[in-house]
C-alpha cells in the first residue's frame, strides 16, 4: 500500500477540481448518471484521484443501474477501508482509500456473485489507467 498520504486542506484544494475536492475530502456525492465512469467500458485499473492508490480492476466493474460506477470487489482489500456512515438519516458503509482517507463512495450487500457486494463509487474519486497488456477484441 505504501505510506499514508497527508496534505493540508489548501494542498488538496490546489491539486483537485472543486468536484473532486467536494467528493473526496468532504464526503460528497456526484449526481447519478453524471460521472465520467458510470457507463465507461474501458479495460484497466481504477486509481484514487487523490493519491494514485490502486482501487479496482475493470473486470470487477458491472452495470448496477444506479448511475454510479459499481464494482463487486476492490483490487486488494487492503487498499480500501470501510466505516459506518449514519449521515442523512441512513445507515450505510462508507468506503475510503486506505492510503489518503479519500471518500470514494459506499458499499452495499446487494451486488452480484461472487462477493454479493456493490462498491458504489463516485467517478470524481477515480482516475483510470488503460491496461495495454489485456488482449484486444
Q: List active site positions.
A: 120
CB atoms within 10 A of CB 23: 26
CA dist., res. 26 & res. 36, Å (int): 19
Short-list 120, 106, 128, CA closest to 49: 128
Beta-strand relationship, 44-48 and 126-130: antiparallel
For residue 38, how far is the Cα from the chain centroid? 11
Residue 24, C-beta contacts closer than 8 angstroms, at least 6 positions apart? 12, 16, 49, 50, 102, 103, 104, 122, 124, 125
Amino acid at each position: 500500500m505504501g505510506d499514508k498520504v497527508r496534505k493540508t486542506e489548501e494542498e488538496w484544494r490546489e491539486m483537485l477540481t472543486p468536484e473532486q475536492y467536494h467528493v473526496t475530502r468532504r464526503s460528497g456525492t456526484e449526481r447519478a448518471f453524471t460521472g465520467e465512469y458510470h457507463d465507461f467500458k474501458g479495460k484497466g485499473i481504477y486509481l484514487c484521484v487523490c493519491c494514485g492508490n490502486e482501487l479496482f480492476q475493470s473486470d470487477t466493474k458491472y452495470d448496477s443501474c444506479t448511475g454510479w460506477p459499481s464494482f463487486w470487489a476492490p483490487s486488494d482489500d487492503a487498499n480500501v477501508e470501510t466505516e459506518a456512515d449514519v449521515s442523512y438519516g441512513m445507515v450505510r458503509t462508507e468506503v475510503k482509500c486506505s492510503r489518503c482517507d479519500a471518500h470514494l463512495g459506499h458499499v452495499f450487500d446487494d451486488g452480484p456473485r461472487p462477493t454479493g457486494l456493490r462498491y458504489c463509487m463516485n467517478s470524481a474519486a477515480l482516475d483510470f489507467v488503460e491496461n495495454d497488456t489485456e488482449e484486444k477484441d
